[in-house]
Amino acid sequence: MGALTPIGLSVPDFWRGMLEGRSGAGPITYFDASGYDTRFACELKGFDPLAYFDRKTARRLDPFCQYALVSAEEALRDAGLLEYRGLDKTRVGVVFGSGIGGIQVFTQQARVLLEEGPHRISPFFIPMLIPDIAPGQISIRYGFKGPNYGAISACATATHNIGEAFRLIQLGYADVMISGGAEAAICELGVAGFNAMKALSTRNESPETASRPFDATRDGFVLGEGAGALVLEELGHAMRRGARIYAEVVGVGYSADAYHITAPDPSGEGAARAMQAALEDAGLAPEEVDYINAHGTSTPFNDEIETRAIKRVFGEHAYRLNISSTKSMIGHLLGAAGAVEAIATVLAIYHSAIPPTINYTTPDPECDLNYTTRGPEVRDVRVALSNTFGFGGHNATLALKRFEP
């Protein structure tokens, strides 16, 4: 696994930050946000592209693609694949997404067009902009010639990509897949757009406590950025080369709300069907699930409706589950959220520890489940779900399980 997050620029640092309950939110430093309704975000503090790329290469990659490449490098190194000589690269694929893609280069080149004219547009503009360039760049860098594309489904993007990678291996199209998502939307246009939708928290006086999923005083999500990459591998292939196996992907569930372009279905029916489908795909009973990494955006509607959906699927067992939202610490990484949150879920299984939901101070009677709000909790986690729900009514759930040879 590989991760770039607002609380850690590697998987070990990310895990440490979660267990410490660290907030990645702070005032925006990338541009002057003084005239914006929201003036804070969860930036990648300390990230220097020149630590990973030469200057020429860095200039030809939008930040979202830089993040994708860096997280993929960490994941491949962690998996021991960069040194493995027995790899058939025609059987290695990349399915990697971004919800928005190169919005930073779009913003910058739009300014060039207006101020300097069409002949000053960079020839790299379109290749830097398109979301599918991330899997393309990863495959070019390492020579991976298997299936290569990116699914786009807003905030459910990375989960859909992991699900696609899982299916491609199941169907025999690949032995190894690199999958996940990357996003870098903290820019003038990105923040202004989400502000116009009234989607972001405006708790400018206290950014570090602004992301407060399931709390009665929540007022919107906190925009984050980063990337997560996971190496999925067919079991026999992994065991033959002696790979470390963190967990198994055992099921995926997809559904659509068919309700509204941004608001979730108030009944929670669509989200519930995604969770139910993941359980059925995995052959699991609801009572076998120990932990849910919730979508938990800290918006008034999402958290109440996700709670309703969990109760719909799990009944009384919903009250025995541990639930947490890591967005309370890293903000909402949009198209990267599902990958980073899947990594958090895998680590909860691997280390038998539930990451907390921070900033929870005021109970909401409509959100009455166990959101793990008093710091990390030691618990044996054998089965866990990771939920992601996106604008457009896209719902995706991963079922993950401890690997037991």
Which of the listed residues 206, 240, 274 is the one where a domain comes to its end?
Answer: 240
The verdict on 57 and 180 lying in the same domain is yes
What is the reported pLDDT for 324?
98
Q: Residue 148: which H helix or E strand, with range? A: strand 148-149
Q: Please tell me the pTM assigned to this model.
A: 0.97
The verdict on 308 and 225 lying in the same domain is no
The answer to whether 134 and 96 have CB atoms below 8 angstroms apart is yes
The residue written with tokens 């909401």 in the block is: 364
Average pLDDT over residues 165-175: 98
Average pLDDT over residues 303-320: 98
From the number of C-beta atoms within 10 Å of its C-beta (0-12, 13-18, 19+), residue 67 rates as: buried
User: Coil, strand, or helix at residue 357?
Assistant: coil
Which of the listed residues 240, 258, 284 is the one where a domain comes to its end?
Answer: 240
The verdict on 301 and 231 lying in the same domain is no
Cα 87-89-94 angle, rounded to 5 deg: 115
The verdict on 152 and 27 lying in the same domain is yes
The verdict on 57 and 195 lying in the same domain is yes
Q: Tell me the C-alpha to C-alpha distance, in Å, between residue 291 and each of 30, 57, 146, 297.
A: 36, 41, 33, 17
CA distance 101 to 97: 8
248-256 and 383-390 strand pairing: unpaired
Average pLDDT over residues 167-180: 98
The verdict on 20 and 139 lying in the same domain is yes
What CATH number is associated with residue 219?
3.40.47.10
Domain that holds residue 373: 248-401
The verdict on 236 and 289 lying in the same domain is no
Neighbours of 205 (CB within 10 A): 8
Tokens matching residue 328: 């309370």
Which of the listed residues 240, 259, 277 is the one where a domain comes to its end?
Answer: 240
The answer to whether 299 and 221 have CB atoms below 8 angstroms apart is yes
The verdict on 167 and 260 lying in the same domain is no
* Active site residues per annotation: 155, 295, 332
**Percent of the chain surpassing pLDDT 90:** 100
Q: Which amino acid is at 376?
A: P
The verdict on 198 and 335 lying in the same domain is no
Average pLDDT over residues 261-279: 96
Is the pLDDT reported for residue 258 higher than 90?
yes
pLDDT band at 366 (very low <50, low <70, confident <90, very high): very high
The verdict on 188 and 265 lying in the same domain is no
- Per DSSP, what are the bridge partners of residue 97? 181
> What domain count does the chain have?
2
Q: What is the DSSP letter of 352?
A: T
The answer to whether 348 and 249 have CB atoms below 8 angstroms apart is no
